[in-house]
Chains A and B, each alone.
Chain A
Amino acid sequence: MAHNELILTDVTKRFGGLTAVDALSFKVESGQIYGIIGPNGAGKTTVFNCITGIYKSEEGSVLWRGEEIRGKTPYQIVDRGIVRTFQTIRLFGQMSVAENIMSGRHIKSTQRWWHGIIPTPGKKRDELENWQKVEEQLDFFKLSEFAATPVGSLPYGLQRRVEIARAMAVEPTLLILDEPAAGLNDKETLELLETIFKIRDKGVTVLLIEHDMDMVMEVTDYLTVINFGKKIAEGTPEEVQKNPAVIEAYLGSEDDDDE
């Protein structure tokens, strides 16, 4: 039995003539904070899309806890304990922070379709239990005061936090974050680091993409560096930092890495 391991083997994803991910393999172990880094357009987001079912890779395999999840739909993958956030924040903009987080309770809720028509005592209890879980996330992410605020009117940094809170409401085994620090100021980035450590302490494995080298060095246990869809290095942050191929790739694109 493989325990909470994510193993990618020779995953390849093409868009027309472009090979966005090229025979990529890596392995995320239970309890790790695992980083994926690489220059703009390296294929990082595409890898995440292949893991979370938004794309189906043409070749290769994605094994999660020993099960092949390549080709499964996003909601089937969430059902198996993998939840993600997006590089370009995707919240339900007109809805309140609390409702956004409540969406993460969808798969935990025991309600069936007829509860949308006729209420039962069981439904009432289930609603209350899930809203209480939302309250826990609001507390954990220090968002309580914004519970009723429409999420679209919040500043960027808070929206990022809501998105992570929403993902955590699912009680995932593996949390996937696509550039969680993008657009955050220094103070917010520090808070984010703390949050990520706290999430890991809850027993959640974290897989993240990051542009910012300093942050990656600080937060990850292990990482894979990709460029043009191919792995160019892997190892601990110290090992990777010294790798000439990595230095080369990063020097070559240093100037265009802000967005």
Chain B
Amino acid sequence: MKELQKFAYPVFFIVMAVLPHMLDDRWQAVAITFLIFAVVALSQDIILGKCGMFNMGQALFFGMGAYTTAILNNEYGWSIIATIPLAIIIPALFGILLAGPIVHLRGDYLLVVTIGFNIVFVQVLQNNLGGVTGGPNGIFGLDSLSFLGYDLMSQISVYYFAFIVLLLTLWVMHNLAGSKPGRAMHYLREDQLAAESIGINTRVYKIFSFGLGAGIAGLAGTVYATQYSAVSPEAFEFIQSVLFFSIVLVGGSSVPGVLIGVFVMFVLPEIFREFATWRYFIFGFAMIAAMIMRPRGIWPATFGKIPKFLIKDNNHGA
């Protein structure tokens, strides 16, 4: 499996790097959607997969990033690129504020509370609270991407924007896996009491996971707003959160697992148009089957990122 991954990653990156030049407009759009939703699903994986927090409101942070970009661009004339820092920071802060009072809740309670947040968020957007969200129609007519004075109108530019965001996300997740906060999240997911009893302030790392996951989802929101030059409430409904949640659960908390999940959920329905109406049905069955046969996901998380010098020749390896 490890050998396969060593080989598969470069191939995946190269294919993704040249892909848009081989696709027509429609398929480019599908590919961009894949990249964006992959980033959101990975951000959900940080909270649900790595940290074990049953968060069913990831679309909220995604939408918050998208709306931050849309409002700053539309109302205040910021360029899309200039909105990025706030499109990360605002959802991240919100994630931290929301998580603070609820992370001590048991899994099922947390699930219900985050669903509640998601529903309230969409209601706020639809009712145009504050007069900046554009109500049920949302905000449209955003500027296209521009950078250092260059206009990057083409869909290919949006594709590479999305691709860079995905690479950035994978890089962050790689850093996380080999760090004290990343390990702390694993420990508390496996056994919270044991984690506390070895010196880990689990609350801090739960909130951290929400902040980080929300920030990355927010960045994906910026790309989403760029792709459609518009945002509207229904894209961030609670049902979207359910999809991200199930992708991580069914795929398993691993990069390949999450990418496969996103592919099945968002790309296959485009390939087989007739599949589109069936996707929830099929995905529902996939969830049931996966949870019965592979309760840790189709491509489960692999631990064991330990330095080579610890692995001796006569190891009873993993």
Contacts and interface: CB of A to CB of B under 8 A. Distances in A.
Interface string B300-317: 000111110111101111
Contacts of A202: none
B198 interface: yes
A119 B306 CA distance: 17
Contact of B310 (A79, A84, A117, A148): A148
A94 B303 contact: yes
A117 B175 contact: yes
A96 B190 contact: no
A147 B311 contact: yes
Given A94-B190, A111-B180, A116-B180, A75 B304 contact: no
A124 to B, nearest CB: 9
Contacts, number: 145
Nearest to B302: A94
Contact of B317 (A84, A90, A103, A148): A148
B279 interface: no
Contact of B316 (A123, A128, A145): A145
Contacts of B195: 92, 103
Most buried by B among A96, A106, A107: A106
A103 B187 contact: yes
Given A149-B316, A149-B318, A115 B179 contact: yes
A106 B176 contact: no
Interface stretch (A131-139, A182-190, A191-199, A214-222): A131-139
A194 B311 CA distance: 26
Given A96-B306, A103-B195, A116 B212 contact: yes
A128 to B, nearest CB: 8
A146 B316 contact: yes
A98 B317 CA distance: 11
Contacts of A147: 306, 310-312, 315
Nearest to A154: B316
Contact of A111 (B179, B186, B310): B179
B200 interface: yes
Contact of B194 (A92, A127, A150): A92
A118 interface: yes
A54 B197 contact: yes
B201 interface: yes
A30 interface: no
B197 A135 contact: no
A90 B318 contact: no
B303 A150 contact: yes
B187 A92 contact: yes
A96 B187 contact: no
B191 A75 contact: no
Nearest to B207: A113
A93 interface: yes
A167 B190 contact: no
Given A52-B197, A116-B182, A95 B317 contact: no
Contacts of B312: 144-145, 147
Interface of A: 52, 54, 73-75, 78-79, 83-84, 86, 90-96, 98-99, 102-104, 106-107, 109, 111, 113, 115-119, 123, 126-128, 131, 134-135, 138, 144-150, 166-167, 170
20 contacts: A75-B196, A78-B198, A79-B199, A84-B197, A92-B187, A95-B186, A95-B190, A95-B303, A95-B304, A102-B183, A104-B199, A106-B180, A106-B183, A106-B184, A116-B180, A116-B208, A148-B311, A149-B315, A167-B198, A170-B199
